[in-house]
A = this chain, B = another copy of it.
Amino acid sequence: MPETHLHARDDRELTFAQAIREALAEEMRRDPTVFILGEDVAEAGTPFKVLSGLLEEFGKDRVLDTPISEAGFTGLAVGAAMTGMRPVVDIMFGDFVTLTMDQMVNQAAKVHYMSGGKWRVPMVMRTTMGATRRSAAQHSQSLHAWFCHVPGLKVVLPSTPYDAKGLLKAAIRDENPVVFFEDKMMYKLKGPVPADDYIVPLGVADVKRVGEDITLVATSSMVQVALGAATLLEEVGISAEVVDPRTMWPLDERTLIESAKKTSRAIVLDEGYERYGVTAELASVIATGAFYDLDAPVKRMGAMHVPIPFSPPLEDVTVPTEQTVFEAARALCGR
């Protein structure tokens, strides 16, 4: 099981964005059927500049700008994937996945099953998530829970540059449609990333920090929040374990449950809406799996049940922070 902190010795550091780009470049070199499709992906390299340089290396036939047609080019990718290509589709803001649901859910996710296993759809949809960028309600959502609910799809939420590279490479090589969520606030996050060709398998959680008193299960940028909270907790004598499932589906239930059994307390953190979201599934899995070991109910912390407001002081309270997690953990531990 490749664990990020084990690679801290590697002295090469990349940003999250660079790790994504390196994964794409490596896979495109390795496999000529991999190509990139999306809005402003070519010369512009996306508004986040995540793809800068790929056009120059791979040319216009493999890095394609599209019209603003999220449904259209996602559908095109499904057909291309069925017939020998490996598309990596770029949906600029995760909020726009709303436009691709039919292609992803009624087509991509079901083709393999409906055809009795005959056709396959090896495609990746890369998109973004995460609030606090002052982008308001239509550019700040984290809608990954929808995809997690759909059999036939896999869903990946990397939290470090190391994981981003390894998971994206695994996603591209996977024979199934994979939705890959990148928190846009993490693109500049730095971390160790080996230059070699490694993958992080889908379905394997990672213990990002070992602890004894409470388990913080966290996804995507919430892993950083959880690690920050763990540091604060340490100061008050509470040892927190931080577990990152890394892929929402397949879900490594065992690692989550084992950690909660060990610590007897758990908080689940995710930047999607709390209600009917990822935190519900993770909390329920833990509440069931560690039922006889839990000393307190599993606490869920997700985005507040409001459209993300533009106004900074309002937006800031809609998502969990180190401080709110610290306080919740302290309360849960009764200290």
29 residue pairs bridging A and B, Cβ less than 8 Å apart: A96-B102, A98-B102, A98-B105, A99-B102, A110-B137, A110-B138, A110-B307, A113-B309, A114-B136, A114-B137, A114-B138, A114-B307, A146-B149, A148-B276, A149-B272, A150-B273, A249-B275, A276-B278, A276-B280, A276-B281, A280-B281, A280-B283, A284-B287, A287-B288, A287-B298, A288-B298, A288-B299, A291-B294, A291-B296
- A289 nearest in chain B by CB position: B297
At the interface, yes or no: A59 with Cβ under 8 Å from chain B? no
Min Cβ gap A273→B in Å is 5
Which single member of B143, B280, B291 contacts A297 (CB below 8 Å)?
B291
What residues of chain B lie closer than 8 Å to A110, measured between beta carbons? 137-138, 307
- A136 nearest in chain B by CB position: B114
What residues of chain B lie closer than 8 Å to A149, measured between beta carbons? 143, 145-146, 272-273, 275-277
Contacts A273-B151, A306-B113 given; indicate if A287 touches B297 (C-beta within 8 A).
yes
Nearest 4 A/B pairs, CB to CB: A98-B102, A148-B276, A280-B280, A98-B101
A109 touches B307 (CB 8 A): yes
What residues of chain B lie closer than 8 Å to A284, measured between beta carbons? 279-280, 283-284, 287, 298, 300
For the complex, what is the distance from the CA of A279 to the CA of B276, rounded to whole Å?
Answer: 9
For the complex, what is the distance from the CA of A175 to the CA of B307, rounded to whole Å?
Answer: 17
For the complex, what is the distance from the CA of A77 to the CA of B32, rounded to whole Å?
Answer: 46
B152 touches A307 (CB 8 A): yes
Min Cβ gap A69→B in Å is 13
Min Cβ gap A117→B in Å is 12
Min Cβ gap A292→B in Å is 9
Interface string of A296-326 (1 = CB under 8 A from B): 1111100001110100000000000000000
At the interface, yes or no: A33 with Cβ under 8 Å from chain B? no
What residues of chain B lie closer than 8 Å to A143, measured between beta carbons? 149
At the interface, yes or no: A106 with Cβ under 8 Å from chain B? yes
What residues of chain B lie closer than 8 Å to A300, measured between beta carbons? 284, 288
Which single member of B106, B138, B299 contacts A106 (CB below 8 Å)?
B138
At the interface, yes or no: A13 with Cβ under 8 Å from chain B? no
- A306 nearest in chain B by CB position: B151
